[in-house]
């Protein structure tokens, strides 16, 4: 079935999307004023190029270093910096590019994607509500989908998390199957992301299969914890993966992407 997902990645692909984690950006709590924006841009471009050169199918750009995160809209300087960096990354690679503005600024992610030619965005809480380290985050589907329509950018796909990592659903009694159905049917997501409890934490295979069954044919991506040892089994149960930590030297989150590790991970799909 032709969807935005297949338009982006092709009908036969189970894409591997590599994470390009940005260091702390200007204005954020951990920003080092001695690190220029040029240097941050070069860091992102280097990681994105390594992801593509290693054979991955997409890149996701994320303001990972901006802890602690705003739970909703981020400041203007953050949007400006990510837009500049995303423009440089888009020019450096030919594979699809995605944007995630943490913690849940999907509207800014969409605007950045629209301005830079990115093809998809990630939204941590599209529907419902989650308890997080930023407090209670509520879904943004109504505003986001109206923005996508108003900007005439329905070609930009929305990948939405269910029970996103580093969170717990506000209503723990709601079955995950119902959450998935709401994300697809009421939030109008183009793909669903299922992850473990935190960054780099494994995603339970039973959880993946449960979400896949509930997704009614919509693509399901694994959002955390993929490793060289687990990718074949996990990808058999899903439609693609988003991977960051496992692509870095020594599996250390602050290390750069290692092209050889990317290539080795891709080889495990064969």
Domain of residue 255, residue span: 4-8+15-267
Q: Global pTM?
A: 0.96
* Confidence (pLDDT) at 230: 87
Cis peptide before 114 (omega within 30 of 0): no
pLDDT per residue over 99-134, tens digit each? 999 999 999 999 999 999 999 999 999 999 999 999
> Is the pLDDT score of 78 beyond 90?
yes
Mean pLDDT, residues 5-32: 94
Q: Report the alpha-carbon distance of residue 54 to residue 149 in Å, rounded.
A: 35
Instruction: Please state which of the ranges 7-16, 21-30, 196-205, 247-256 shows the lowest mean pLDDT.
Output: 196-205
**Domain containing 39 — which CATH number?**
3.20.20.70
Residue 227 has what pLDDT? 87
Number of domains in the chain: 1
Angle at 212 between CA 21 and CA 244, to 5 degrees: 15
**Contact (CB, 8 A) for 127 and 179:** yes
Average confidence score pLDDT of the chain: 94
> Which of the four pLDDT bands, split at 50, 70 and 90, describes residue 51?
very high
Tell me the C-alpha to C-alpha distance, in Å, between residue 91 and each of 15, 20, 27, 47, 58. Answer: 21, 15, 25, 13, 14
Residue 131's pLDDT is: 95
Specify the length of the chain in residues.
270
Give the model confidence (pLDDT) of 152-168 as tens digits: 999 999 999 999 988 98
At residue 198, the pLDDT reads 66
CA–CA distance, 126 with 146 (Å, rounded to integer): 13
d(CA 131, CA 233): 30
């Amino acid at each position: 079935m032709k969807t935005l997902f297949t338009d982006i990645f092709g009908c036969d692909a189970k894409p591997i999307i590599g994470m390009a984690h940005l260091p702390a950006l200007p204005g954020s709590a951990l920003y080092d004023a001695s690190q220029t924006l040029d240097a941050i841009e070069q860091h992102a471009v280097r990681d994105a190029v390594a992801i593509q050169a290693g054979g991955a199918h997409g890149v996701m750009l994320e303001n990972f270093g901006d802890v602690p995160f705003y739970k909703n809209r981020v400041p203007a300087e953050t949007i400006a910096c990510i837009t500049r960096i995303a423009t440089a990354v888009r020019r450096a690679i030919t594979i699809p590019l995605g944007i995630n503005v943490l913690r849940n600024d999907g509207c800014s992610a969409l605007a950045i994607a629209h301005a830079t030619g990115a093809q998809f965005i990630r939204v941590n809480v599209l529907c419902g509500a989650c308890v997080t380290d930023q407090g209670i985050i509520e879904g943004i589907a109504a505003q986001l989908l109206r923005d996508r329509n108003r900007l005439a950018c329905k070609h930009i796909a929305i990948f939405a998390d269910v029970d996103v990592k580093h969170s717990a659903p506000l209503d723990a009694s709601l079955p995950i199957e119902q959450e998935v159905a709401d994300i697809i049917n009421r939030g109008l997501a183009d793909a669903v992301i299922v992850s473990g409890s935190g960054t780099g934490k494994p995603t339970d295979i039973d959880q993946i299969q449960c979400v896949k069954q509930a997704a009614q044919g919509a693509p399901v991506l694994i959002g955390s914890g993929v490793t060289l040892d687990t990718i074949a089994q996990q990808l058999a149960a899903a439609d693609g993966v988003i991977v960051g930590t496992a692509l870095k030297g020594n599996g250390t989150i602050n290390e750069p992407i290692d092209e050889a590790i990317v290539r080795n991970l891709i080889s495990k799909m064969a």
